[in-house]
Structure 1
Amino acid sequence: MIVKMRKVSVLLHHKAREEFLAGLQEVGVVHVTENPDKDAVSMHKRIESIKETEKVCAGLKKAAAVLEEQLPQKNDQDAGSVMRQFHDRTQRIDALDQGLQRLQKDEAVFEPWGEFDPTIINKLQETGISVRFFQAPEKKFNQLDPSGFLRVEISRVKGQVFFVIVAQKNENTVIDADEIRLPAGSLRNVRDANIKAIADKNTLGKELQALSAYSDVLRAHANLLQDQHCFLSAGEDLVSEAQGKLLMLTGFFPAGEEKAVKEYLEKRPVWFEISEPAATDSIPVLLKNGWFARKFEPVLSMLSLPSYYEIDPVPFFAPFLVLFIGLCLGDVGYGSLLLIASIAGLFKAPKKFKPVFETTTVISAVVIFAGVLLNSFFGLTLFAGPGIPAETAIFSNGAQWFCPLSPFASEKGTIYPMMSFAIVLGMVQVFLAIALRAVNAVRQNTWVHGIYPLSFFPIFGGFLVIGAHTNLFGLNMAGFAVNQWKVGALWMAVPATAGWAMFFGGIALFMLFNNPGTKIFMRPLRGLWEAFNFITGMLSSILSYLRLFALGLASGLLGSSFNNMAVQIVSSGGSPDWTSPMAVAAVLLLVVGHSVNLGLSIISAIIHPLRLTFVEFIFSNLGFAGGGKAYNPLKKLTQSS
């Protein structure tokens, strides 16, 4: 949910600014409203200093990552000295890297020619004898006319012949081949320089590792810079009044912190007022959710924070998102592997990754639960039951009790309850979004604005009842069921007359309240366009949830295919023989095949549920506006001494 905020306005004398802000920073709960006219240049410089310090911290952390044990921390140097040493070492390492690249290229040029003394070539040049280096394909080399000069083959590499031409310096010898210009020095010189550069780079790397002993000094410096930036930025956010003698501060804080803020302000020589924020204020947003929903706040932050007057959608989409991921994977075996990996991560991974593994642990448990519902274990059938032969399952009975979404055979062919369940899930989430949209409309405007989205309910409900009673379009909506759950019977239980009343009543509300800001006689005309969007949008939204069924089915079929292929490899005389020498190949196929299937399924189980959440729930039906500004209070990161 979005934490309720209170607005505070403070008027103080300009000489009391620093002392007042220092105390307010100690309180640490007031988000100061930004002054658009403040000095952007100085603020940018401060931010760059903070980023530079954090960059050095990250660089030292990377340098120390190869150490078996972290170095004990020191404080005999200040942050500025450490940063200068870091930049010196990194610049020298960069220069060495560039030199190594050049040396490697030179070595590649020298290698076909082997080791020779370049001074001999120079002496020959001085005596009037030229030595030129050439490269040509073998076929072209064999066709060269060697008369008039001395041709000496040096080596052959990958179909290329490397050779030298020795001739009089004043002779204009034309050779149909590529002439090579060798770098200065020799192969030995280049290799020696390469070895020295690598040694120098390793030495500098060790010096960087030694600097990681000052990581705490740098982090403390970064926090101090951040505190100073927040303090100075807050000072620049104060608005000058009365020719600069008075300063006005406006800010926001969580309503639960009012006592602490009020106690501080009452002790200061200032005038202040605490009030409810106005609708026109730029109110910061602070999300406060329970343990489960809090894990999915980063999903919403991929888009935007909600505006202050919107409902926080995280608690409403989080359960659906987890369920969708579970249904897309939908396999007890895959879920068990993920659960084991997640639990191992909880105990073995660094502390900062613990929230990630807590989330994947919950998701893994849901994947196992969905796998039971779908009756799948590494592509095998878990339980037999009505319409599920015992010889195809691991357990001879139980599908009718534990696996309501399992496919089963009937007189009409194979029935897939998951298909119907996906449609029901789509209806539930879409209309939950519409209900929240109505609440948002009332909160942000008036109750009249909430009527339009609420009109969708009687329209759609009436349509279902009418469709069930009249067998609309031959869809047999009266027979709609999820396994043994006769959903269509619920629609048939409502009288057709009531269905028609709901439908036309909803249409009336839809046409009269679709745009409350326009004149009422114009609304039916706008309503025709809105009706087109409603029909097409609702149909596409709900049918989009069929991808949950399709992805789960694809994962199960692919896993089953790998199982069948492995069995065929070891089969002899129609029955599998796991003592066969081919058993190793079969097991390898199972491991590789299911690993590939699991990887593809994980990717699909992330992408498509996120798409349903973003497109169908948040944007298409909730009408999410977003654009909220994060609550960022003026507070200290460093402890007061």
Structure 2
Amino acid sequence: MIAKMTQYSFILLHGDKEQFLSELQGLGVMDITRASKPVDTRSQSLLDNIRTLRDDIACTEKGMDDTLAELLATRGALERELAEAEPWGDYDRGRLAVFGLHFYRVASKKYDPAWEEQYAIQVVDRDEKEDTRFVIVGDDAGFPLKELPAPKRTVAELKTLLQEQDEKIDAHRKILEARKADIPQMRHEIRVLENELDRYLAATAAVPAAEDTVDTLVGFAPTENDAAVTEYLDQAAVYYVKSEATLEDNPPIELKNNKFVKMFEVLTDMYGRPDYNEFDPTPYISVFFLLFFAMCMGDAGYGLLLAIIGILLRKSDGMKSLAPLVTVLGIGTFVVGIVMHTFFGVDISQLAWIPSWLKAVMITGTIGGFEAQMVLSLAIGIVHLCLAMVVKTVYATRNKGFLGSLGVWGWTLLIVGGVALGTLAMLSLLPAGVVKVIFIVLGVVSALGIFLFNDIHRNPLKNIGSGLWEAYNTVTGLLGDVLSYLRLYALGLAGGMLGKAFNDIATMTLGDGSFGFGWFTFALILVIGHALNLAMCCLGAFVHPLRLNFLEFFKNSGYDGKGRVYNPLSSNNN
């Protein structure tokens, strides 16, 4: 849910601004509207210092920086030069001119022994599968090959240079290792600079008044913190006015959700936080993204692996924040995979040792001639879209009032009511005659809202035209939206078939089943095959459920997601 915000307007003397913001930063709950990027040379300098420190930390943690990269590149060049020089052997460069040596190299299969009758050739190195290196002593006029430049450095010189380069690399690596002890201090310096930059940008947002003698600032804080904020401001002896924030004030958005839903806030932020008068989509995303992800994976074995990976990620500093989400997605995939009766590509519904109570929850067979899992995907899609329309209706009524949202009510009654009636009729819970009467009533009431009262302040003829256009877009759009949910079935089916294919290929390598190389190949194909399939399934299971939520659900729920994130001034110097 979206946390309620209180707006605070401050008036303070120009000279007190920095001190006030510094103290406000210590409070840690006040969001002062400020620029999101550097506004002048000072803020740019602070940002550059922060970036430099972050780069230093990254280089130190991975044991690599520009200097070491350059040293390693030089060593690589020396190694390549040595590889070229070694076949020629060691020699005295001063004597090359005396003998008049000319260097050549040719593929061994193209070397012509007849050359030795015309020129003074000495073969230096021959590899029958690769090249032959040779020199011509004296005159090489008319020789058909292009002469190679003589090695610039001898083998002995290159080996000495390589040894010196290795010593430089070892010395620099020791320096980088020693710098790891400075990482906590560098992180502390980053936080100090970030606080200073944050405070400076907030100060530049102040509006001068009364010939630059006073400044005005506007900030927002969660209403639940109002008592602490008011107590602090009263002690600070600053003049302020507070009021309940409204949409026109463009307050920042702070989401308040339980631990389970909070894991999925990262997905909401990928699209955009809601406006102050919108709904928080995270609770809906948490349920349906988990379900859609699990259906796209469709394999209990892969779910088990994901859950284990999520548990292991808790020990990783960089991925620790995502570990709970990965674990939950893995558990969800395991449960849905059992229902879809697939475990590492094996159809477990066909296994005799699976208990009957577990087989009872597995979705198999067909419904009306169609695969039961495909029908389930479409049914879930219809529920998802109906929920979106209900949410849109609720929030439209809250923001515009009942009379201002009659058009939305019309579509919701027609579609959601029609789906509900159709379901009751299919289950024979209502007589056909009753269903027909109710549907006619729903149709008439819905038509009034859709075509006549979609805007009670507008000419009815314009409303009819607007309603017809909206009807065309809604009907054609809904059909495509519902069919989009077939991808849940298709992706799960594709992953399962590919997993089964890897199992079959691996089984073919066993031969007669005797212990030997076949078992090694069997294990190798299974590990590599299922690892690749897991990676591809994860990619598809992330992108497509995200699309179903961001496009189909958000479009039909009227969600815009143009709110700004709550970003309070705070001190994090610990």
TM over 0.5: yes
1:451 shift after superposition: 2.9
Q: Secondary structure at the match of 2:573?
A: coil
Number of the residue aligned with 1:373: 339
- Aligned counterpart for 1:606 among listed residues 519, 536, 542: 542
Percent of pairs with identical residues: 28
2:91 matches 1:116: yes
Number of the residue aligned with 1:456: 411
Number of the residue aligned with 1:541: 481
Matches for 1:611-626 after TM superposition, within 5 Å: 611-618=547-554, 620-626=555-561
1:418 shift after superposition: 1.9
2:372 matches 1:417: yes
Q: Secondary structure at the match of 1:259?
A: helix
Q: Tell me, yes or no, if the aligned pair for 1:32 and 1:234 is still in contact at 8 Å.
A: yes
- Change in 2 beyond 3 A, CA 1:19/1:340: closer
Q: Secondary structure at the match of 1:629?
A: coil
- Aligned counterpart for 2:125 among listed residues 147, 155, 162: 155
Number of the residue aligned with 1:238: 206
TM-score for both structures, normalised by structure 1: 0.80
Q: Tell me, yes or no, if the aligned pair for 1:375 and 1:399 is still in contact at 8 Å.
A: no
Give the letter for the 2:75 counterpart: L
- Change in 2 beyond 3 A, CA 1:41/1:524: farther
Give the letter for the 1:47 counterpart: L
- Change in 2 beyond 3 A, CA 1:231/1:497: same
1:204 shift after superposition: 0.6
Q: Tell me, yes or no, if the aligned pair for 2:405 and 2:454 is still in contact at 8 Å.
A: no
Number of the residue aligned with 1:315: 283
2:426 matches 1:433: no
Number of the residue aligned with 2:326: 360
Q: Tell me, yes or no, if the aligned pair for 1:13 and 1:247 is still in contact at 8 Å.
A: yes
1:556 shift after superposition: 3.4
CA deviation vs aligned residue, 1:317-336 (integer Å, no higher than 9, x gap): 11111111222233333333
Number of the residue aligned with 1:179: 147
Structure 1 unaligned segments of length 5 or more: list them.
65-89, 384-390, 469-476, 480-485
1:54 shift after superposition: 1.9
Number of the residue aligned with 2:443: 503
Matches for 1:63-462 after TM superposition, within 5 Å: 63=63, 90=65, 92-122=67-97, 124=98, 130-138=100-108, 141-142=111-112, 149-157=119-127, 158-167=129-138, 173-346=141-314, 349-350=315-316, 353-383=319-349, 393-395=352-354, 397-398=356-357, 401-403=360-362, 405-407=363-365, 416-461=371-416
Q: Distance in 2 between matches of 1:444 and 1:105?
A: 72
- Change in 2 beyond 3 A, CA 1:493/1:273: farther
1:5 shift after superposition: 1.1
- Change in 2 beyond 3 A, CA 1:341/1:249: closer
Q: Distance in 2 between matches of 1:320 and 1:444?
A: 26
Number of the residue aligned with 1:61: 61
Superposition CA RMSD, Å: 3.4
1:345 shift after superposition: 4.5
Q: Tell me, yes or no, if the aligned pair for 2:31 and 2:221 is still in contact at 8 Å.
A: yes
Give the letter for the 1:181 counterpart: P
- Change in 2 beyond 3 A, CA 1:465/1:372: closer
Matches for 1:542-557 after TM superposition, within 5 Å: 542-557=482-497
- Change in 2 beyond 3 A, CA 1:141/1:556: closer
Q: Distance in 2 between matches of 1:147 and 1:37?
A: 77
1:538 shift after superposition: 0.6
Q: Secondary structure at the match of 2:63?
A: helix
Give the letter for the 1:610 counterpart: L
1:6 shift after superposition: 1.0
- Change in 2 beyond 3 A, CA 1:310/1:143: farther
Q: Tell me, yes or no, if the aligned pair for 2:38 and 2:44 is still in contact at 8 Å.
A: no
Tell me the matched-pair count: 573
1:580 shift after superposition: 10
1:612 shift after superposition: 1.5
Give the letter for the 1:406 counterpart: T
Give the letter for the 1:459 counterpart: L
Q: Distance in 1 between matches of 2:136 and 2:271?
A: 68
- Change in 2 beyond 3 A, CA 1:17/1:190: same
Q: Tell me, yes or no, if the aligned pair for 2:378 and 2:485 is still in contact at 8 Å.
A: yes
1:251 shift after superposition: 1.0
Q: Distance in 1 between matches of 2:533 and 2:431?
A: 40
Q: Distance in 1 between matches of 2:323 and 2:42?
A: 41
1:593 shift after superposition: 4.5
Q: Secondary structure at the match of 1:284?
A: coil
2:17 matches 1:25: no
- Change in 2 beyond 3 A, CA 1:353/1:586: closer
2:570 matches 1:635: yes
Structure 2 unaligned segments of length 5 or more: list them.
none
Q: Tell me, yes or no, if the aligned pair for 1:332 and 1:372 is still in contact at 8 Å.
A: yes
Q: Distance in 2 between matches of 1:604 and 1:136?
A: 51
CA deviation vs aligned residue, 1:146-203 (integer Å, no higher than 9, x gap): 67753333224554332223325xxx82432122224522122123212211221121
- Change in 2 beyond 3 A, CA 1:334/1:268: closer
Give the letter for the 2:136 counterpart: I
Q: Distance in 2 between matches of 1:112 and 1:429?
A: 71
Q: Distance in 2 between matches of 1:36 and 1:587?
A: 53
Q: Distance in 1 between matches of 2:120 and 2:503?
A: 69
- Change in 2 beyond 3 A, CA 1:503/1:274: same
Q: Distance in 1 between matches of 2:303 and 2:282?
A: 24
Give the letter for the 2:207 counterpart: V
1:7 shift after superposition: 0.8
Give the letter for the 1:53 counterpart: L
CA deviation vs aligned residue, 1:567-613 (integer Å, no higher than 9, x gap): 677798xxxx7889966665655555544444433333223222212
- Change in 2 beyond 3 A, CA 1:243/1:174: farther
Q: Tell me, yes or no, if the aligned pair for 1:304 and 1:626 is still in contact at 8 Å.
A: yes
Number of the residue aligned with 1:474: none
2:43 matches 1:43: yes
Q: Distance in 1 between matches of 2:163 and 2:19?
A: 59
- Change in 2 beyond 3 A, CA 1:462/1:299: closer
Q: Distance in 2 between matches of 1:351 and 1:36?
A: 27
Give the letter for the 1:631 counterpart: Y
Give the letter for the 1:555 counterpart: G
1:558 shift after superposition: 3.9
Q: Distance in 1 between matches of 2:359 and 2:74?
A: 71
TM-score for both structures, normalised by structure 2: 0.88
